[in-house]
Structure 1
Amino acid sequence: MRVAEIARLTGTTVRTVRYYHKQGLLPVPEERGGWRDYDISHVARLSRIRWLVQAGVPLKSIARILDSPTDEVVSTDAAVLDDLSGALAVIEEHLTEVTRQRDMLASLLERAREGLTVSPMPPRMVAFFDRLEAEAPDERTRVAVRRDRDLVDVACYSGHMPPEAQYLFPGPNDGEDADALVAYGQDTENLTDAQVEERAAKNIARFERTLGPRRCRELADSVDAAAIAPPFKLFAHLGAGGARLAGEMERQLTEAITRWRATP
């Protein structure tokens, strides 16, 4: 048979068949009447090659597997076992990544259907910033809210924001929006050390009022202590004048979580 027919029979292309020839995987048949004449042995070998390719086995490993003289050699050849183990590891890693992408897309689709911003930021955070931006009494406060929102968004995109952090943002019925807007309206660049400490303490107090003792303890028990520092380090790096406040917030929140864990 001709090359086009063997390609059709094995579900591949003429170009792929010729590539396998070039790689030494598929023997080149003799010519008859100016055409390469493939027989059943070529169809069988090409079928085996395609089967292993579809299983994710690399081409360099396929030659070693197909050229082993018996099934017994294949099962005991350390190189073949390593090839197959390596191919399986690659597929499992790819499967993990595809599963992660599927979950992300499902979440984004759900948010889009609900009319929410397509972003990795949790809906509770999105709603918080939406409210404050809409209720800001002046442009300075509005700009500060937007800047903080951008910082949180970057932390979410980069994976620095732990999922539990969303519960530190007040909901619409918590009555904390007015105090938050007052804080956003203040100048953070020229605060004294005492004022920075006071500002951070007010934020922690707001968290505690919003969450309540039981939820504070649950949150403290669920959060990984190592996950607290990264977002504040990012805020300190990107937040310009808010670097000192970010550092103080990290310190006080770490202390608060330790305290919450000890709460009976």
Structure 2
Amino acid sequence: MRVKEMADLAGTTTRAVRHYHRLGLLPVPPSAGGRRDYGVEHLARLLRIRWLADRGLSLTQVAQILAADARGTDREAILRDLRSARENIEERQRALREQADRVDELIARVAGGDPPSPLPTALTCFYDDVARRIRGLEAPAGDRALQVLTGERRLMMTLAAREMIPASAGRFIAELDAAERDACARQICAFAELEQTGEAGAVELAQESWALALRHKQSSLAILNDLPEGALGRALWDLAGVLSTISYPLKVHRVFTGALLDLMLADPDFAAAIHRSAGGRRVSL
């Protein structure tokens, strides 16, 4: 039979057949009249290749099984390959389930009127709420404060896209009452005025931010304790440092982030959580 006939019978393509020839999986038949003449034995071999591949085996594993069949030995090697293939399939299934969960989250967000964004809904609502409160303050630095808030939102969106924001961040936000959210709005305005208030203003603002974290110490610690460890944890802190430097480039901004980090590291509980996630490396923001 011709290659097209055999491919059709096996439910595959002539291109796949040629690929199997190149890999040595399927013997090349003799030619008749300038065309390859495939026999039943070639069709049987092709069907076996397709059957194994459709069950999740790689072509390398297919080749090993076919070679073992030819030798009539090495059953344990075949079992290892099959078990390995099974594990690979289960891993892909887990990945697909996680992907389906993420799509479900997007469906829920859009159905609820939110944009399809990697930022958790709780953070999106929080930033929207703080923006409204900033506008309500009618502060001289209101426009700059909104720009600062937009920059922080982008920073958090970058971390969220890397799946580096734990769910406990939403629980922390849920604890903030109206007065504390007003305080957050005022702190954003104060940050926008740091060029005028200078280093003294930066240190004072860091102390106010730290006081808010301490009022919700358990929730704040939960966020730090939920951060990844090992290589991913180090990557998170490296990325946070880079993003912080880009987002807050002025010296007075560095005074604020440095003072806030110093306050956190001076607390044994916060320091332990930070060092655990950062793998003992020196952290800078």
Moved more, 184-193 or 135-144: 184-193
Cα distance in 2 for residues equivalent to 1:185 and 1:70: 76
- Once the 2 structures are TM-superposed, how far is the Cα of residue 86 of structure 1 from its aligned partner? 3.7
Q: Deviations over 1:46-102 (max 9, x none)?
A: 0000011112222233223123347972523x3x34433443343333333222222
Contact 1:30 1:36 in 2 (8 A): yes
- Once the 2 structures are TM-superposed, how far is the Cα of residue 170 of structure 1 from its aligned partner? 4.8
Cα distance in 2 for residues equivalent to 1:33 and 1:169: 78
Cα distance in 2 for residues equivalent to 1:186 and 1:143: 13
Q: Identity of aligned pairs, percent?
A: 27
Change (3 A) 1:73 1:235: closer
Q: Does 1:201 align with 2:215?
A: no
- Tell me the equivalent position of 1:119: 117
- Give the TM-score normalised by the residue count of structure 1: 0.77
- Tell me the equivalent position of 1:162: 166
Does the residue aligned with 1:227 lie in a helix, a strand or coil?
coil
- Tell me the equivalent position of 2:282: none
Q: Does 1:147 align with 2:145?
A: no
Q: Does 1:50 align with 2:50?
A: yes
Cα distance in 2 for residues equivalent to 1:155 and 1:184: 20
Output aligned runs, 1:98-113, within 5 Å: 98-113=96-111
Cα distance in 2 for residues equivalent to 1:153 and 1:171: 21
Cα distance in 2 for residues equivalent to 1:205 and 1:105: 36
Q: Does 1:186 align with 2:186?
A: no
Change (3 A) 1:161 1:248: farther
Does the residue aligned with 1:185 lie in a helix, a strand or coil?
helix
Moved more, 237-246 or 7-16: 237-246
Q: Deviations over 1:218-247 (max 9, x none)?
A: x58966626289677654442231422551
- Once the 2 structures are TM-superposed, how far is the Cα of residue 249 of structure 1 from its aligned partner? 6.3
Aligned residues between the structures: 247
Cα distance in 2 for residues equivalent to 1:86 and 1:228: 28
Q: Which amino acid aligns with 1:117?
A: P
Does the residue aligned with 2:73 lie in a helix, a strand or coil?
helix
- The CA RMSD measured in Å over matched residues stands at 3.3
- Tell me the equivalent position of 2:257: 243
Output aligned runs, 1:193-232, within 5 Å: 195-204=204-213, 207=216, 216=218, 219=219, 225=225, 227=227
Moved more, 12-21 or 225-234: 225-234
- Tell me the equivalent position of 1:213: none
Q: Which amino acid aligns with 1:247?
A: L
Q: Which amino acid aligns with 2:61?
A: S
- Give the TM-score normalised by the residue count of structure 2: 0.72
Change (3 A) 1:82 1:32: same
Change (3 A) 1:222 1:149: closer
Change (3 A) 1:228 1:2: closer
